[in-house]
């Protein structure tokens, strides 16, 4: 097990990315953050906080659950639990930034783009992740990332949140998984 990002480097990195976003989107008037459930939610919340510090107000923050958009939706999941998707405003003409914890095969992002498109026609969609790891199976890349890392095929990247903030670490695929990075708003269990 090795640490990729500790809470301090996540905070610094997200502040840098918030600056890049504000610069690229000219103050970000049309910006909407859309977290990919569930790992992207804590990341998007932290990013929204930094954007708010820079611009004085946070952009609208939504989330999509991609269970129903997976390319293996009806065959692969042993026990699908469909979480709520919450999009707070129309996405027509907006600049949408999809936020997730780790970019790996790209299949989740492909599904998330399809989900976002069902809520309207954004002007553009960008992707922000904490960790960009190798192993892409689709021609996709992140516009913003904190760290690019080569990870062995028998390893995985886990992002988790504690009272100090978000961290990312690499561990063996066989290791027990860490509880999800954020509570699941609107869910009882």
Partner 1 sequence: MTEDRLRHLLGIEDLNLRSAERVLDTAQAFLEVTRRPVRKVPALRGKTIINVFFEASTRTRTSFELAGKRLSADVVNIGGSSSSTSKGETLRDTVNTLDAMHADVIVIRHAASGAAHYVARYSRAGVVNAGDGMHEHPTQALLDAFTIRQHKGNDFKGMKVAICGDITHSRVARSNALLLRMLGADVALAGPRTLLPSGVESFGCRVYDRIEPALDGADVVMMLRIQRERLGAPLLPALREYARVFGLNSTRLRLAKPGALVMHPGPMNRGVEISEDVADGPHSVILNQVESGVAVRMAVLYLAASEPGTAALADG
Choose the binding region for partner 1 from 23-31, 76-84, 142-150, 153-161 (rule: CB under 8 A).
Answer: 76-84
* Terminal Cα-to-Cα distance of the chain (whole angstroms): 29
Choose the binding region for partner 1 from 3-11, 74-82, 122-130, 156-164 (rule: CB under 8 A).
Answer: 74-82
In the complex, what is the shortest distance from the CB of residue 133 to partner 1, in angstroms, rounded to a whole number? Answer: 26
The burial class, CB within 10 Å (0-12 / 13-18 / 19+), for 181 is buried
Residue 89 binds partner 1, judged by CB under 8 A: no
| Contact status, residue 182 vs residue 41, Cβ threshold 8 Å | yes
Residue 75 binds partner 1, judged by CB under 8 A: yes
Judged by CB, which is closer to partner 1: 75, or 153?
75
In the complex, what is the shortest distance from the CB of residue 29 to partner 1, in angstroms, rounded to a whole number? Answer: 22
Q: Which of 29, 80, 135, 183 binds partner 1 (CB under 8 A)?
A: 80
> What is the spatial distance between Cα 176 and Cα 171, in angstroms, rounded to a whole number?
9
Length of the chain: 189
Place of tokens 């969609």: 125
- In the β-sheet with 155-162, what is the strand arrangement from edge to edge? 2-5, 165-172, 155-162
Judged by CB, which is closer to partner 1: 75, or 150?
75
Residue 55 binds partner 1, judged by CB under 8 A: no
| Contact status, residue 98 vs residue 34, Cβ threshold 8 Å | yes
For partner 1, how many residues bind (rule: CB under 8 A)?
24
Question: In the complex, which residues of this chain contact partner 1 (CB under 8 A)?
Answer: 65, 67-69, 73-86, 114, 117-120, 188
């Amino acid at each position: 097990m090795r640490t990729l990002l500790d809470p301090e480097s996540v905070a610094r990195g997200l502040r840098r990315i918030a600056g890049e976003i504000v610069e690229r989107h000219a103050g970000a008037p049309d910006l909407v953050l859309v977290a990919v459930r569930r790992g992207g939610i804590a990341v998007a919340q932290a990013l929204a906080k930094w954007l708010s510090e820079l611009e004085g107000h946070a952009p609208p923050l939504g989330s999509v659950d991609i269970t129903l958009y997976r390319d293996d939706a009806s065959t692969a999941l042993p026990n699908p639990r469909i979480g709520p998707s919450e999009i707070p405003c129309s996405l027509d003409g907006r600049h949408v930034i999809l936020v997730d914890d780790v970019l790996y095969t790209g299949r989740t992002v492909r599904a998330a783009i399809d989900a976002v498109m069902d809520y309207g026609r954004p002007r553009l969609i960008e992707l922000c992740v904490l960790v960009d790891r190798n192993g892409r199976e689709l021609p996709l890349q992140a516009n913003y990332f904190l760290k690019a890392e080569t990870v062995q095929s028998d390893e995985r990247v886990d992002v988790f949140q504690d009272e100090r903030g978000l961290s990312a670490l690499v561990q063996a695929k066989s290791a027990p998984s860490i509880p999800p990075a954020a509570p699941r708003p609107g869910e009882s269990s």
